[in-house]
Chain A
Amino acid sequence: MLQAGTNTTSRWFSYIGLGIGVLLLLCAIQVYIDLRQLLHENVARKNGVDFISIAKTVTNETMGQTEKNLFHQADIDEIKSKPFVDDVAPLLANQFRVTLGAGAIIPFSTDMFLETLENDFIDTLPPSFQWQEGQADIPIIFSSDFLEIYNVFAPGQGLPQVSESTASGIPIFITCEGNGIEETFRGHVVAFSDRINSVLVPKAFLDWANKKYGKNNAVAAARLFIKTKDANNADLLNFLDSKSYKVNKDKTKFGRVKQVLQGIFTGMGVFGLLVICLALMLFSFYLQLMLARSKDNLQLLLMLGYSPAWLSKNVLKQYVPVYIIVVISALVATQALQAFFYAYAAGARPGMQWSLHWTVWLAAVLLMSLSLLTNYSMVKKLLYKML
């Protein structure tokens, strides 16, 4: 009775438009959430905080002026006072000459530096990482990056490449030279660190060694480690930029990328919303046209005793299944894309989910409810006008 057969093209256009709009919006929401998750996971997190290392930028002007290139207590206090910084710890280095070697096992030795850092900032801290005077063995936490660098140049030097487990078993000879004294200690790697690019020794050993072999001056730190809730925090990055502090770029570049990507996907979401609005408008026009063409029949139904509210519900009942199908299809498509992304792009990283976030489901339900409600109100209003 309702002339629903007329103007089918515009009706189908509105369905397709609605489907595209819903798909864009749902994808934008899911990708936004995935992005936040992914980019957080790329920072060396420990217990919900991020750790980044910073150094002062050495320029032509500041070269050779250690007091300008090192962090002093005032610098540390300033950084610590910032609301986006939870804690700061300096990486303190040796004040004497250090040579590391592997003895006869691997004929390799090099001048090296030793550093120490507060335990709270170390990502891999075994119980054995302690030293007291008189202890012959020195535990070392070695940077995974340094091992990787060694394995890169080793073949060219005719040296064997080593795995982490092998490296842990190789005795390392630490020769300390200063104040006219030269002494060799035996150490071994107790852990590898992904976070700290250094050769770490227990603070007790370095303090003792600096006193014995070095000048034991209060030397400022070349590097600091910052503990923060979000390494990609815009305020943090802006502060570091303003002080010309060089940041461990790997950890924070995502801050910039994240802002751009989030901007893109927000734009996509807004575009999706616009498409939905346009589709709903088109569908409203279709409904109005259909009601106008069926005016005589609808007026007669009202005359016979059919209520406007009942008629509104039943007019829309024809289209509810289509709305549901459109939104469910968009949900299924979004789920398929998310599963694909999880499996092939995100690499099934921890914290990521192959299933859709609850906000995506909520958005779908809200969209469907909103479109049904607006159309119901419009139809009812038009029917009341026919009375």
Chain B
Amino acid sequence: MLQKGEYIKIVAPSGSGKTSLTQFLYGLRREYNGAIFYDDHNLAGLSAEQIARYRKDHISIVFQDLRLFNDQTVQENIEMKRQLHPFHPPEKIKHMAEALGIGSKLHQACGKCSYGEQQRVAIIRALMQPFDFLLLDEPFSHLDDNNSKKAMQLILEESRTRNAAIIFADLERVDHFPFTRLFHL
């Protein structure tokens, strides 16, 4: 059982199922044995509207493949998530973007940003909504140490604000993630 406030680290080599696990937890896929419950609700039994509410209000994710709207600007990508269930005011986008060094890219189309910049966009996007659980699937794969630390700091700050749990899946241990539980797949 995973509880709010926990920091869970999942370390596993490539192809072992980290991404599959995060997608199961996000309710994106259902081809697993057993059951996943959020509170007392079986994820597999939720309707489309209930799943939408679950993703809007309770769980957030940074996809491994980012899944941004390449034709929309950085600001638009982040705003699209923020406006769904505003946890922060619009000005927070600029504040976070500057904190992660992409403040000047706000009006640039995402598709024209570097992969590292896009990763930071995906991270900020995930932090714009309320959540009880934050799923991170190799979120710093294209960031250098300095930017990884800054991003981690932002993530931890936002999680503490919400008393949320973080489930961090990565290829190897990241030192600056203060996990409370560690799993190897």
Contact = CB atoms under 8 A, between A and B. Distances in A.
B52 A306 contact: yes
Contacts of A297: 69
B176 interface: no
A386 to B, nearest CB: 10
B71 A302 contact: no
Contacts of B53: 305, 307
A301 B80 CA distance: 9
B148 interface: no
A382 to B, nearest CB: 13
Interface in A296-313: 297, 300-310
B69 A305 contact: no
A307 B67 contact: no
Contact of A307 (B49, B72, B81): B49
Interface string B165-183: 0000000000000000000
Interface in B40-76: 48-49, 51-57, 67, 69, 71-72
Interface residues of B, number: 19
A371 to B, nearest CB: 25
A305 B84 contact: yes
A307 B48 CA distance: 7
A308 B71 contact: no
Given A300-B69, A304-B84, A384 B48 contact: yes
Interface majority SS (helix, strand, loop, mixed), chain B: helix
B48 A305 contact: no
A1 B71 contact: yes
Nearest to A387: B48
A309 B49 contact: yes
B72 to A, nearest CB: 7
A309 B56 CA distance: 14
Nearest to A380: B48
A1 B69 contact: yes
A82 to B, nearest CB: 64
B84 A308 contact: no
Interface string A308-334: 111000000000000000000000000
B67 to A, nearest CB: 6
Contacts of A307: 48-49, 52-53, 56
A301 B68 CA distance: 10
Interface majority SS (helix, strand, loop, mixed), chain A: helix
B118 interface: no
B52 A305 contact: yes
Contacts of A303: 28, 55, 67
A70 B100 CA distance: 109
B95 to A, nearest CB: 21
Contact of B48 (A1, A301, A308): A308
B67 A308 contact: no
Contacts of B72: 1
Contact of B56 (A305, A308, A384, A387): A305
Contact of A306 (B57, B71, B84): B84
Contacts of B56: 305-307
A309 B48 CA distance: 9
Nearest to B126: A304
B129 interface: yes
Interface string B151-166: 0000000000000000
Contacts of A306: 52, 56, 84
Nearest to A383: B48
B128 to A, nearest CB: 10
B48 A300 contact: no
Residue with the highest number of chain B CB atoms closer than 10 Å, among A301, A303, A308, A384: A303
Residue with the highest number of chain B CB atoms closer than 10 Å, among A301, A303, A305, A308: A305
Contacts of A309: 49
B30 to A, nearest CB: 11
Residue with the highest number of chain A CB atoms closer than 10 Å, among B52, B56, B67, B71: B52
Contacts of B55: 303-305
A307 B72 CA distance: 20
A300 B129 CA distance: 16
Nearest to A310: B52
Contacts of B57: 305
B67 A300 contact: yes
Given A1-B71, A297-B69, A303-B55, A308 B80 contact: no
Contacts of A1: 69, 71-72
Interface of B: 28, 48-49, 51-57, 67, 69, 71-72, 80-81, 84-85, 129
Interface of A: 1, 297, 300-310, 384, 387
Given A304-B55, A384-B48, 15 more contacts: A1-B69, A297-B69, A301-B80, A304-B81, A304-B84, A305-B56, A305-B129, A306-B56, A307-B48, A307-B49, A307-B56, A308-B49, A310-B52, A387-B48, A387-B51
5 contacts: A301-B80, A306-B52, A307-B52, A307-B56, A387-B51
A-B residue pairs, 6 tightest by C-beta? A305-B55, A305-B56, A307-B52, A307-B49, A308-B48, A387-B48
